[in-house]
Amino acid sequence: MAWLGVRLGVQADDSVELRAGSVDLPGALLSVTTLALGFLALTLAVEHGWRATTTLACAMGR
């Protein structure tokens, strides 16, 4: 189903609009931070429980 949506709904990139060597630094930092907080929340849940303030804060990204 996803394949069909991509084939019908997403158009091919225009090579004129592409920039070689550009890096989405804010997006990369956000992705790494989100993954780190998610793994930290799982680790804290094992140690302190799911209802602990630190676990909930990490799970919510605060």
pTM of the model: 0.57
Structure token pair of residue 18 = 């592409």
**Poorest-pLDDT segment among 9-18, 34-43, 48-57:** 9-18
Cβ atoms of 16 and 34 within 8 Å: the answer is no
Q: Name the residue ranges covered by the structural domains of the chain.
A: 1-60
Residue 50 has pLDDT above 80, yes or no: yes
pLDDT at 14: 75
Report CA 37 to chain centroid distance, whole Å. 10
